[in-house]
């Protein structure tokens, strides 16, 4: 039995499928939750569709620093909370929508990548009272894409995205995924590599990676991409110093084919060829 019928999805010729229009808003007066991502930094990486959803929102719900990135609009209510209360925040957004409000839940980057879209669906599907509340997810640019573009094209071939945070999953799971992905010679983009309280994880990840990867493998430490203080550093895996990594960084670990080249202006680029040796 399929989970859904294709007939229930918007047809490719409907307005929802056209490039120039955002996904359809619900009938006026009906509440809805729209989960958006602001991109990794600044307005230039925020999509026009997300900009429109933010302008039309009656309520903004999200982690304080993310909501603070959205310009204040008169008449729009802002509900900010700490970053460890995702399901409460999702329930709050769904409750507001149940009462008829147009609610935008704010994430950074893409809302479906280690962000609020899953939390909203978790609550929306668990609680029968939310069954009829429309939920839309609008895509955003995720940090790995922005970081990769700043240093060249390290994600040009197969890659995997993993979070190093053991706050929501046990460390042994992270360790086994790191081992499997590095044994498969995938380029890795590692989100949430460290924080003020998670200090040993990068060193432990490095040990796992070195079991499968050459110590000369290029690593990009991408800090604050697109923001003031942006810094991208290229080091070898063997030389990666965990002390230089915090929650504002994303790590890209090269595969066996990832190249580091110096251009005519002395800039260093990291790129992974499209072809793979037979
Ligand atoms: N939903 C977000 C990810 C949230 S997890 C997205 O799609 O991008 C938070 C992690 O994302 C951070 O710890 C860091 O690893 C990464 N990150 C987000 N923005 C970043 C930026 N501007 N520069 C470097 N890393 C960033």
pTM of the model: 0.91
Residue 9 counted as domain residue: no
Are 232 and 218 a contacting pair, CB within 8 Å? no
Weakest mean pLDDT among 14-28, 30-44, 83-97, 254-268: 14-28
Residue 3 counted as domain residue: no
Closest CA to 164 of 186, 142, 195: 195
129 and 154: one domain?
A: no
147 and 96: one domain?
A: no
Does residue 165 have its Cβ closer than 6 Å to ligand 1?
A: no
199 and 252: one domain?
A: yes
User: Tell me, what's the pLDDT at 176?
Assistant: 98
Q: Which helix (H) or strand (E) holds 80?
A: strand 77-81
Closest CA to 57 of 136, 116, 119, 113: 136
Does residue 191 have its Cβ closer than 6 Å to ligand 1?
A: yes
Domain count along the chain: 2
253-268 tens-digit pLDDT:
999 999 999 999 999 9
113 and 180: one domain?
A: no
49 and 161: one domain?
A: no
> For the residues of 104-172, what is the DSSP string, one character each?
EEEESB-TTSSSHHHHHHHHHHH-GGGTTS-EEE-----HHHHHHHHHEETTSS-EEEEE---SSS-HH
Pocket test for ligand 1, best of 41, 50, 117, 143 (most atoms within 8 A of CB): 143
Residue 6 counted as domain residue: no
Answer yes or no: is pLDDT of 2 > 60: no
Last residue of a domain, one of 110, 137, 164: 137
Answer yes or no: is pLDDT of 164 > 90: yes
Does residue 62 have its Cβ closer than 6 Å to ligand 1?
A: no
What mean pLDDT, rounded, does the chain reach? Answer: 92
Average pLDDT of the residues in 216-233: 98
**Atom of ligand 1 lying closest to residue 37 CA:** 1
Does residue 225 have its Cβ closer than 6 Å to ligand 1?
A: yes
97-135 tens-digit pLDDT:
999 999 999 999 999 999 999 999 999 999 999 999 999
Pocket test for ligand 1, best of 47, 69, 108 (most atoms within 8 A of CB): 108
User: Tell me, what's the pLDDT at 13?
Assistant: 44
Residue 236 counted as domain residue: yes
Residue 271 Cα to ligand 1 midpoint, Å, equals 21
Residue 8 counted as domain residue: no
Answer yes or no: is pLDDT of 67 > 70: yes
163 and 259: one domain?
A: yes
Quickly state the pLDDT bin for 240 (edges 50, 70, 90).
very high
149 and 85: one domain?
A: no
Last residue of a domain, one of 107, 137, 167: 137
Residue 161 counted as domain residue: yes
**Atom of ligand 1 lying closest to residue 143 CA:** 8
Residue 255 Cα to ligand 1 midpoint, Å, equals 21
> Whole domain around residue 247: which residue ranges?
143-271
Does residue 107 have its Cβ closer than 6 Å to ligand 1?
A: yes
Alpha-carbon span 54 to 52, nearest angstrom: 5
Greatest extent of the chain over all pairs of C-alpha atoms, in Å: 61
Last residue of a domain, one of 74, 106, 137: 137
Quickly state the pLDDT bin for 246 (edges 50, 70, 90).
very high
**Atom of ligand 1 lying closest to residue 223 CA:** 24
Residue 250 Cα to ligand 1 midpoint, Å, equals 7
Residue 143 Cα to ligand 1 midpoint, Å, equals 5
151 and 131: one domain?
A: no
Average pLDDT of the residues in 64-82: 94
Quickly state the pLDDT bin for 16 (edges 50, 70, 90).
very low
Residue 7 counted as domain residue: no
Strand partners, 136: 34
Residue 56 counted as domain residue: yes
Are 152 and 269 a contacting pair, CB within 8 Å? yes
Alpha-carbon span 121 to 126, nearest angstrom: 8
169 and 83: one domain?
A: no
Residues 6+ apart with CB under 8 A from 27: none
């Amino acid at each position: 039995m399929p989970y859904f019928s294709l007939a229930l999805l918007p047809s490719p010729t409907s307005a929802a499928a056209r490039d120039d229009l955002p996904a359809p808003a619900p009938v006026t007066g009906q509440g809805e939750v729209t989960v958006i991502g602001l991109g990794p930094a600044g307005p230039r990486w925020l999509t026009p569709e997300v900009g429109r959803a933010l302008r039309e929102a009656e309520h903004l719900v999200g982690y304080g620093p993310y909501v603070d990135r959205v310009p204040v609009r008169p008449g729009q209510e802002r509900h900010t909370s700490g970053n460890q209360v995702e399901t409460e925040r999702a329930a709050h957004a769904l409750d507001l929508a149940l009462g008829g409000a147009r609610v935008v839940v704010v994430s950074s980057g893409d809302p479906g990548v280690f962000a609020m879209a899953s939390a909203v669906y978790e609550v929306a599907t668990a609680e029968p009272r939310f069954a009829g509340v429309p939920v839309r997810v609008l895509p955003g640019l995720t940090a790995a894409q922005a970081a990769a573009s700043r240093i060249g094209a390290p994600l040009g071939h197969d890659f995997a995205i993993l979070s190093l945070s053991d706050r929501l999953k046990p460390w042994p799971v992270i360790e086994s995924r790191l081992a499997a992905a590095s044994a498969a010679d995938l380029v890795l983009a590692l989100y949430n590599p460290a924080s003020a309280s998670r200090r040993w994880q990068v060193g432990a990840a490095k040990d796992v990676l070195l079991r499968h990867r050459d110590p000369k493998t290029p690593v990009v430490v991408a800090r604050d991409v697109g923001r003031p203080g942006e810094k991208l550093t290229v080091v070898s895996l063997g030389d990666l110093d965990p002390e230089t990594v915090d929650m504002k960084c994303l790590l890209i670990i090269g595969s066996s084919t990832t190249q580091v080249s110096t251009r005519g202006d002395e800039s260093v680029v990291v790129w992974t060829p499209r072809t793979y040796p037979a």
